[in-house]
Amino acid sequence: MTGAGTARPGARATTARDLAEHLGISVSTVGRALSDDPRISAPTRARVQALAAELGYVANRSARMMRGAPSTVVGLIVPDVRNSFFTSVAHALGHLLGTRRHQLVLCETADDRRTELQHVRDLVAAQVAGVVLVPSSAPDPETVRLLGTVPHVQLMRRVPELAPHWFGVDDHDLVRQATDHLLAAGHTRIGYVGGTAEVPTGAARRDGYRDALRDAGVAALPEHERVGPPSSTEQGGPTFGAAALRDLLSLPDRPTAVVTGSTQITRGVLAAATALRLAVPHDLSLVGFGDEPGFGWWGAGLTTVTLPVTDLATGCGAWLLGLLADPDLAADPHASVTRGALTLRGSVGRPSTVSWR
């Protein structure tokens, strides 16, 4: 017996030619029957389709693409899927693509340009239809050139070398709101722990922090500002965030509140605060960035900048699909800023006058 599941992996896949020979007809008739070409007689079509179903025929995409069939693959390039923001993006994009029978190739860069280039090369070789990417701080020129061939959209971060299509949030404003919130609660010694200014969003967020202080007439102390790798690389994200918080707290004029500038860094800061057994908001007020599941139940709840993840991802994906359908859309730059908001929970209070430890 040759039941289902018996086909050995070694077995050559069934081709249109196999079907043709089995039925004693030509390959083109098979092709037409399978594509429901009206010119084919009903009985022939039925016979072909029946055999195709029986033999589990699946047309070879490579062959189709060589004949000019459009690619159904979209690349998603992110620093790290474990960051829940990017996870959500992958989910939303995958869902959107799935409904159109497109496929999602997931690529992680760890914010490394070499890795990024590698992925872009492979995507281009695979003839991807389009790419959604969170670019690294300074993409390799080769990356830039290769992407010149492929429709693409930038997500969150925006670098001028790539196509002027971008979906993101108002980073400056978001961190500014976060800082304003702490200022309004009476804090003046406010620390900032965020991503390096090399990354575009890093610079914008840090400036949001600085501008909030400046406009409030509060002196910004350089030692209260800590920047490092935003994602989860070797020394990145959580590790950096944790170390930075410890540093800030060991300062003579330690801050009474801290704003963070990336999700992974926020994780690290929370981990350090937990380890140090800080009483938040009594010992320290905190405003996070991003909204991981769990931020809501950290201590009395983390007050944090919430990003409209799903909207962003869906919008970005939908626009890319539109672009694939009509390449002329690439002509005029499309930038979309989705609004985020401060989610108020329990990690912000008035500055305590009690000295620490």
Partner DNA sequence: TTGAAAGCGCTAACAA
Partner DNA sequence: TTGTTAGCGCTTTCAA
Question: 114 contacts which partner out of a copy of itself, DNA, none, CB within 5 to 8 A by kind?
Answer: none
Q: Considering only residues 121-140, where is the footprint of a copy of itself by CB under 8 A?
A: 121-127
β-pairing verdict for 334-338 and 341-343? unpaired
For residues 316 and 91, what is the distance between their CA atoms, to the nearest angstrom? 13
Residue 63 lies near a copy of itself (rule: CB under 8 A): yes
Choose, by CB under 7 A, the member of 21, 50, 64, 274 that binds DNA.
64
Residue 121 lies near DNA (rule: CB under 7 A): no
Residue 101 lies near DNA (rule: CB under 7 A): no
Q: Considering only residues 250-269, where is the footprint of a copy of itself by CB under 8 A?
A: 267
Choose, by CB under 8 A, the member of 292, 312, 345, 349 that binds a copy of itself.
292
For residues 31 and 63, what is the distance between their CA atoms, to the nearest angstrom? 12
Choose, by CB under 8 A, the member of 142, 215, 223, 326 that binds a copy of itself.
142
Indicate the DSSP class of residue 333.
Answer: -
Burial code (b: 16+ CB inside 10 Å, e: under 16) for 272-289 equals bbeeeebebbebbbbbbb
Residue 27 lies near DNA (rule: CB under 7 A): yes
Question: 16 contacts which partner out of DNA, a copy of itself, none, CB within 5 to 8 A by kind?
Answer: DNA
For residues 9 and 157, what is the distance between their CA atoms, to the nearest angstrom? 43
Nearer to DNA, 48 or 312 (CB): 48
Task: Tell me the CA distances in angstroms from 138 to 100, 174, 198, 237, one per residue in order.
Answer: 33, 24, 8, 19
Question: 32 contacts which partner out of DNA, a copy of itself, none, CB within 5 to 8 A by kind?
Answer: DNA
User: For residue 354, how many other CB atoms are within 10 A of its CB?
Assistant: 8
For residues 90 and 85, what is the distance between their CA atoms, to the nearest angstrom? 9
Choose, by CB under 7 A, the member of 7, 21, 28, 98 that binds DNA.
28
Choose, by CB under 7 A, the member of 22, 44, 170, 318 that binds DNA.
44
Choose, by CB under 8 A, the member of 19, 150, 185, 212 that binds a copy of itself.
150
Task: Tell me the CA distances in angstroms from 244 to 64, 226, 258, 266, 327, one per residue in order.
Answer: 54, 6, 11, 11, 46
Q: Are 96 and 130 in contact (CB under 8 A)?
A: no
Binding site for DNA (CB under 7 A): 12, 15-17, 24-29, 31-32, 34-35, 39-41, 43-45, 57, 59-60, 63-64, 66-69
